[in-house]
């Protein structure tokens, strides 16, 4: 009996010792894992992204690309910056971009340790000096007016800007493609152009806007940089507060919103003769060193190509150049007070 009790006590001690050893091992492993987890969290690099997904600069100018990091207290990664085409825009080791020639390029920031990547689209616009005229056409394309207008512009080697209505572009994608291919600037003028629909709310505006944006990207293979609000930035269909909010949002998305400071008045309800519209365009253009001229290439505007030719001939003789808005350097033209 005594021998049995000794054996039992010995067995209990062995079990207790084994349990202590197991417990000590478990604690050691747990502490090690927790330490590694804490060390990993402390040393973990922050996630990063460009503060803006797209920016626009001029040839010969420079801009610093700003980054966002999260979480705020995490270690910032060492980044390497790469340009998709250094002939359009180069980037140095600090993320400073220099515009070289007109075009669009992707700038990438890559983490040297983890391989994480962020991308920013950089649009470089040329600088236009001296007396320049920026012809702009709203509400197209149309099958009867726009091709004739493009023929006139090609004849005089003139570039212009077309603010496209999406539902018309869907019908005539080849005309929009021709505008791009012949060096013209193409901008957004919403998809539907229905004032009550697009100005019902900021959300409604950008839903319609994005539909036009996606269509033009599909046709041309690149995102536009300009937009014009139907009816201009200060019209009776939208409150000033909402209009300002829309303009701010467009700017955040990398767009330049622009109205005009000269016109042929072809949008007026009454019919003007070619001679009178030409006279009105010339008079308003003379008032500005750099004029952004409003005209239209929708189907009813059959006189627009002739007015355009008259304006080009008149001002070319007087030393003016004609450019797309990519080269505009004047003050922001918006009728609404931002």
When mean pLDDT is compared across 2-16, 128-142, 179-193, 254-268, the lowest value belongs to 2-16
* 194 shares a domain with 169: yes
Q: How far apart are CA 123 and CA 277, in angstroms?
A: 35
Given this model, what pLDDT does residue 37 score? 46
On the CB side of 169, how many CA atoms lie within 13 Å of its CA? Answer: 30
Of 125, 158, 175, which residue constitutes the final position of a domain? 125
- What digits encode the pLDDT tens for the residues 151-176? 999 999 999 999 999 999 999 999 99
Pure H helices in the chain: 2-43, 146-155, 166-171, 173-181, 195-198, 202-220, 240-252, 274-286, 304-316
- What digits encode the pLDDT tens for the residues 284-311? 999 888 899 999 999 999 999 999 999 9
Given this model, what pLDDT does residue 30 score? 57
* 240 shares a domain with 194: yes
* 121 shares a domain with 136: no
Q: For residue 222, tell me if it sits in a domain.
A: yes
Of 77, 106, 125, which residue constitutes the final position of a domain? 125
* 145 shares a domain with 100: no
For tokens 């007015």, the residue is: 307
Q: How far apart are CA 35 and CA 284, in angstroms?
A: 74
Q: For residue 19, tell me if it sits in a domain.
A: no
Give Cβ neighbours of residue 220 (< 8 Å, ≥ 6 apart). Answer: 176, 177, 180, 186
Q: How far apart are CA 135 and CA 128, in angstroms?
A: 14
Q: For residue 337, tell me if it sits in a domain.
A: no
Q: For residue 142, tell me if it sits in a domain.
A: yes
For the chain, count helices (H), then strands (E).
Answer: 9, 17
SS percent in the chain: helix, strand, coil, step 5: 40, 25, 35
- What digits encode the pLDDT tens for the residues 214-241? 999 999 888 899 999 999 999 999 999 9
- The DSSP H or E segment spanning 68 is strand 67-70
* 187 shares a domain with 101: no
State the residue range of the domain holding 247. 132-327
* pLDDT score of 335 more than 90: yes
Q: For residue 8, tell me if it sits in a domain.
A: no
Q: For residue 21, tell me if it sits in a domain.
A: no
* 197 shares a domain with 296: yes
* 55 shares a domain with 152: no
CATH of the domain at 270: 3.20.20.370
Q: CB of 79 within 8 A of CB of 69?
A: no
* 314 shares a domain with 203: yes
Q: In the predicted model, what is the mean pLDDT of residues 80-102?
A: 92
Task: List strands edge to edge, sheet with 89-91.
Answer: 62-64, 96-99, 89-91
Structure tokens at 135: 């012809």
Given this model, what pLDDT does residue 193 score? 97
* 297 shares a domain with 183: yes
Q: What confidence tier does 26 reach under pLDDT thresholds 50, 70, 90?
A: low
Given this model, what pLDDT does residue 46 score? 87
Residues of the chain with pLDDT > 70, as a percent, come to 86
Q: What confidence tier does 21 reach under pLDDT thresholds 50, 70, 90?
A: low
Q: In the predicted model, what is the mean pLDDT of residues 330-334?
A: 84
Given this model, what pLDDT does residue 16 score? 67
CATH of the domain at 114: 2.60.40.1080
* 164 shares a domain with 236: yes
Closest Cα partner for 285 from 258, 312, 267, 324? 312
Q: In the predicted model, what is the mean pLDDT of the chain?
A: 87
Closest Cα partner for 325 from 212, 222, 218, 227? 227
Q: For residue 78, tell me if it sits in a domain.
A: yes
* pLDDT score of 22 more than 80: no
Of 97, 125, 153, which residue constitutes the final position of a domain? 125
Closest Cα partner for 205 from 158, 243, 167, 235? 243
- What digits encode the pLDDT tens for the residues 28-75? 655 455 555 444 444 568 899 998 887 778 888 888 998 889 887 788
- What digits encode the pLDDT tens for the residues 315-325? 999 999 999 99
Given this model, what pLDDT does residue 284 score? 96
* 70 shares a domain with 113: yes
Q: For residue 24, tell me if it sits in a domain.
A: no
The number of distinct structural domains making up the chain is 2
Given this model, what pLDDT does residue 39 score? 46
* 177 shares a domain with 196: yes
């Amino acid at each position: 009996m005594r021998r049995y009790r000794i054996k039992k006590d010995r067995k209990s001690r062995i079990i207790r010792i084994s349990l202590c050893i197991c417990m000590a091992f478990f604690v050691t492993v747990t502490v090690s894992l927790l330490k590694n987890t804490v060390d990993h969290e402390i040393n973990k690099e922050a996630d990063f992204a460009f503060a803006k997904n797209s920016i626009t600069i001029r040839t010969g100018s420079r801009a610093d690309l700003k980054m966002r990091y999260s979480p705020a207290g995490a270690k910032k990664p060492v980044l390497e910056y790469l340009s998709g085409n250094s002939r359009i825009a180069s980037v140095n080791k600090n993320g400073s971009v220099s515009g070289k020639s007109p075009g669009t390029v992707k700038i990438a920031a890559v983490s040297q340790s983890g391989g994480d990547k962020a991308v920013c689209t950089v649009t470089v616009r040329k600088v236009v000096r001296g007396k320049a005229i920026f012809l702009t056409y709203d509400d197209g394309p149309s099958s009867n007016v726009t091709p004739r207008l493009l023929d006139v512009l090609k004849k005089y080697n003139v570039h212009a800007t077309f603010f496209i209505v999406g539902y018309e572009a869907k019908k005539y994608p080849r005309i929009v493609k021709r505008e791009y291919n012949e060096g013209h600037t193409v901008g957004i003028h919403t998809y539907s152009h229905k004032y009550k629909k697009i100005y019902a709310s900021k959300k409604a505006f950008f839903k319609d806007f994005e539909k036009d944006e996606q269509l033009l990207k599909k046709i041309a293979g690149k995102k536009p940089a300009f937009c014009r609000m139907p009816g201009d930035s200060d019209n009776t269909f939208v409150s000033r507060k909402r209009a300002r909010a829309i303009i701010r949002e467009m700017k955040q998305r990398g767009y330049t919103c622009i109205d005009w400071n000269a016109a042929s008045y072809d949008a007026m309800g009454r019919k003007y003769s070619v001679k009178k519209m030409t006279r009105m365009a010339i008079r308003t253009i003379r008032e500005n060193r750099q004029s952004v001229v409003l005209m239209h290439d929708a189907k009813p505007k059959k006189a627009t190509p002739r007015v355009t030719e008259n304006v080009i001939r008149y001002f070319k003789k007087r030393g003016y150049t004609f450019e797309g808005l990519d080269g505009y350097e004047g003050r922001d033209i918006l009728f609404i007070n931002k």
